[in-house]
Copies of this chain bind each other. A is one copy, B any other.
């Protein structure tokens, strides 16, 4: 047999001496075939290395078994890919189990300026989408809603009308509170915070969760410094900017690990001890923090769990054709991982 030519169900039908309808049934696990023919067909399919032509199948079933993962536009920034490449791994594991392939995309094609998501949906290339997007336009939400297109918003929840939107995300308020509790139980009283811009909802919530719990338990937030990115150098620079306040605080909470590490660098340059003078806590529990001395206490979001639930929800949405009856806001509880920095 010419191996370049793909084997189709017609080929198998010929060998098995049955109609290709029957072959289709056997290979699709239909009940409407005798055990004998099923065995025969399955054996031939195995031997010939048959695989369903995805296009043909997609054309008649309107299903591709592909889901699209829409990564943040700034994925090339180290602080972004640091978190999301781990996420990619977990999404992969979940989808492998559920027999879906993974297409990785971004909202817009930076070269043509075209909206890639609209294109993928219109072309029917994906059955559903996992959105990792902060600020999705109302137009996009409407576009997706009008078609009842299966989407799960992961990490960045969207609250808009009664569109039956499904969100899976980390409980950032709780995460902030965990940090506050830790500071308090270490006897810390006055905190400085490093955050990103207010439009980053996840960070804003971490801050809010922190502040309310910290103050509730007798702590005082001396200030919240904000930077445009969550990078190492941003953390460093914020501490430079807040240097005069450093002697009056005894703990520092940064909204992610990279900022915390940048802050740590500057704090030590100034001759202050961690955790003696300033206790430090980051966020994300990135693999990076283990390389550091002292080890950085951090909040783990349980990325694997978020990924798994996101995929499960999405598959369910796809299979039942709507988000009806599904919990619309699934929040995952984060966990504090204690190391030497606090």
CB-CB < 8 A to A320: which residues of B?
Answer: none
Question: Considering the complex, which residues of chain A in the window 70-125 have a beta carbon less than 8 Å from any beta carbon of chain B?
Answer: 75-76, 78, 81-82, 84-86, 88-89, 92-93, 96-97, 101-106, 109-112, 118-125
Interface size on A, residues (CB 8 A): 61
Question: Considering the complex, which residues of chain A in the window 30-67 have a beta carbon less than 8 Å from any beta carbon of chain B?
Answer: 49-59, 64, 66
- Name the segment of A198-206, A275-283, A286-294 touching the other chain: A286-294
Alpha-carbon distance A112/B100, docked complex (angstroms): 12
Q: Is the interface of A mostly helix, strand, loop or mixed?
A: helix
Is B125's CB under 8 angstroms from A4's CB? no
Q: How often does this chain occur in the complex, in copies?
A: 2
CB-CB < 8 A to A101: which residues of B?
Answer: 103, 105, 120, 125
CB-CB < 8 A to A82: which residues of B?
Answer: 85
CB-CB < 8 A to A76: which residues of B?
Answer: 86, 89
CB-CB < 8 A to A291: which residues of B?
Answer: 232, 261-262, 265
Is A110's CB under 8 angstroms from B124's CB? no
Is B55's CB under 8 angstroms from A122's CB? no
Alpha-carbon distance A21/B97, docked complex (angstroms): 42
Is B123's CB under 8 angstroms from A96's CB? no
Q: Which of A54, A88, A97, A148 has the largest count of B CB atoms less than 10 A from its CB?
A: A54
Q: Which 10 A-B pairs have the closest CB atoms?
A: A51-B122, A55-B58, A85-B85, A78-B287, A3-B146, A55-B59, A54-B123, A81-B85, A76-B89, A51-B123
A-B contact pairs, 12 of them (CB 8 A): A3-B146, A49-B122, A50-B122, A51-B118, A51-B121, A53-B59, A53-B124, A55-B56, A76-B86, A76-B89, A88-B104, A92-B104
